[in-house]
Chain A
Amino acid sequence: MGRIDINREFNKIQTPVISFNNVSKKYNTGTDALSNVSFNIFKGEFVFIVGDSGSGKTTLIKLILKETLPSSGKVFVVGHETKRLRRKTVARFRRSIGVVFQDFRLLKDRDVFENVAFAQRVIEAEPHTLRHKVSKVLNLVGLSDKARALPKELSGGQQQKVAMARALVNNPIIMLADEPTGNLDPNSSREIMRLLDDINKRGTTVVVVTHNQEIVDEMQKRVIVLKDGKIVRDEAKGTYDAVRKEAKEEFE
């Protein structure tokens, strides 16, 4: 086994892939969606972002994807300040982020293979690279045998795995999952989370926005809690709510 370059590894792990510096977002309707939010997410981290409806989670995702811009403050994603990104470069920028939605968002008229291949076609991949990568990623999510199935022939959990395969196939730096277990039963939810954990262990930064308390508590990952547009808690090995955390600590 070769020697590990500690400094290199340290720098790698200390590079923020997402950085919010005093970010506020006020919509035209007058709603303050986020107020003075600051945090860093480093390369290779697994982070849960939790909070009630209207707490600012969706705005936070939109800011990461440059779907909206901050009213004040700066948002950096994979080294780019989103405000400075020109329209022409947004497409390339988004290829570094894989997104998974609660409602899977698969193309209903195309089979599993084509749904995943779609992400490769968009980046104009070579046909042989496309075939190789799609097969590899379907194997990773355990759906190689379902390559020719249509989305309607799959269970919810399987559909979410296809969506994850599509998000993964372009080797993103960040995997952004918006309520990935929202439409799934507990078993499928655990399976999806295990898969996300596996993806994270392979080096991809994973950010999960969720309401699922059990999953958050079970996974023992970093948790950022939003309330009324502000970060009220940011813990390295957190739980969904403070009461549970205290109870857990007391028990331990």
Chain B
Amino acid sequence: MKHLRTLGYCIKQGFSGLWKNRLFSLASIATVMACLTLIGTFYFVYLNVENALLKAESSVGMTVFFNEGVEEDRIKEIKSKLEKVEEISEVRYISADEAWEKYKKENMTEEMAASFGDDNPLKESASLEIHLKNGESGKNVADSIRDVSGVRTVNFSETVSERLSDIRALIIAVATVLIGMLAAVSFFLIRTTIATGINVRKEEISIMSIIGATDLFMELPFIVEGIFIGLLGGLIPLLILNYSYTIVENALKREFGNAFENFNLLPKSEVMGGFLPVALLFTVGIGFLASWITAMGKVRKIAVEHF
């Protein structure tokens, strides 16, 4: 009860300090807001790009063709073995007839197709269509399949999977640098704000220390101030981002409809649900750390300068 009352008093003092030092507080909140808005925007773009890449990756596949005379049973045996390979998500058997039907449909007019009658020029072209879980493993899987007896050739485009991995690595690197820089800017601005607040209340701190206030009692109002800057600086952009996401989502739907599957954004609940707690923890954490470090150094220095 006693400590709760003291905590209440310190929180009240923290808010009072925030108000007394409102110009700097506002500047800090605005900086944290700007940082989080940028981080959020970047993160949402990243998530959606990654989602699109994942979709593209899962469509990355390879086709395995077999030597002449390899029986359907043998191909199906290879298929069941491949299905057990961890990197492979799906293996589909395309029979010679199926392959010919597909070819006719995609590349011939009905008249041209009819001229072949019952002949199947692709009768030795039964194949396995393989879909990978992750494009990065494509090259290794293709090399292994090439060594299987009966396999004539494996069609696989290595560059697609490599390019996808490169894009993801680049996005992660840029995001890390950007987030690091923005976090540092927020951190130092909050430190300046708290330091200014401490200077404004120098006299009060000096009196507190001479009448026997503990370090925590003197520092807590400033830590509250820092946490509140972090909290406000986090909550406002989250609301803005939440609202903006809906606008962008609707705009994309309006512009592209469902014509391109990859243009559909991830559901807002999925994106915000993961981002909100981490973002708040991030901004409140920066506010806490910056104010705590500043208060520890500055308050304790003032507390020994009474005469």
Binding site for B on A (CB under 8 A): 58, 61-62, 65, 67, 87, 91-95, 98-99, 101, 105, 107, 118-119, 121-124, 126-127, 166-167, 170, 178
Q: Do B207 and A91 touch across chains, with their CB atoms under 8 A apart?
A: no
B209: chain A residues within 8 A (beta carbon):
91, 94
Most B CB contacts (10 A, CB to CB) among A61, A91, A93 go to A91
Which residue in A65, A87, A121 is a CB contact (below 8 Å) of B9?
A121
Q: Do A170 and B211 touch across chains, with their CB atoms under 8 A apart?
A: yes
Q: Do B203 and A107 touch across chains, with their CB atoms under 8 A apart?
A: yes
Whole-angstrom distance between the alpha carbons of A166 and B211 in the complex?
A: 9
- The minimal Cβ–Cβ distance linking A125 to chain B, given in whole angstroms, is 9
A127: chain B residues within 8 A (beta carbon):
5
Q: Do B306 and A65 touch across chains, with their CB atoms under 8 A apart?
A: yes
Q: Is B208 an interface residue (CB 8 A)?
A: yes
B304: chain A residues within 8 A (beta carbon):
67
Q: Do A178 and B208 touch across chains, with their CB atoms under 8 A apart?
A: no
Q: Do B212 and A67 touch across chains, with their CB atoms under 8 A apart?
A: no
Whole-angstrom distance between the alpha carbons of A67 and B212 in the complex?
A: 12
Q: List 23 A-B contacts (CB under 8 A).
A: A58-B307, A62-B306, A65-B210, A67-B307, A87-B215, A91-B212, A91-B213, A91-B214, A92-B212, A94-B210, A95-B212, A99-B211, A105-B203, A107-B204, A107-B207, A118-B208, A119-B212, A121-B6, A121-B9, A122-B213, A123-B212, A124-B6, A127-B5
Whole-angstrom distance between the alpha carbons of A117 and B204 in the complex?
A: 13
B193: chain A residues within 8 A (beta carbon):
none
Q: Do B306 and A170 touch across chains, with their CB atoms under 8 A apart?
A: no
| Chain B 283-307 per-residue mask, 1 if CB under 8 angstroms from chain A, else 0 | 0000000000000000000001011
Q: Do B307 and A178 touch across chains, with their CB atoms under 8 A apart?
A: yes
| A-B contact number at CB 8 A | 59
Instruction: Using A67-B307, A105-B206 as known contacts, say yes or no to A94 and B211 having CB atoms under 8 A apart.
Output: yes
Interface residue SS majority, chain B: helix
Q: Is B81 an interface residue (CB 8 A)?
A: no
Q: Is B254 an interface residue (CB 8 A)?
A: no
| Chain B 190-217 per-residue mask, 1 if CB under 8 angstroms from chain A, else 0 | 0000000000000110111111111101
Instruction: Using A105-B206, A107-B204 as known contacts, say yes or no to A122 and B307 having CB atoms under 8 A apart.
Output: no
Number of interface residues of B (CB under 8 A): 21
With CB as the reference atom, state the residue of chain B lying closest to A105: B207
Whole-angstrom distance between the alpha carbons of A99 and B206 in the complex?
A: 12
| Chain B 151-194 per-residue mask, 1 if CB under 8 angstroms from chain A, else 0 | 00000000000000000000000000000000000000000000
- The minimal Cβ–Cβ distance linking A99 to chain B, given in whole angstroms, is 5
Whole-angstrom distance between the alpha carbons of A191 and B6 in the complex?
A: 36
A62: chain B residues within 8 A (beta carbon):
306-307
- The minimal Cβ–Cβ distance linking B303 to chain A, given in whole angstroms, is 9
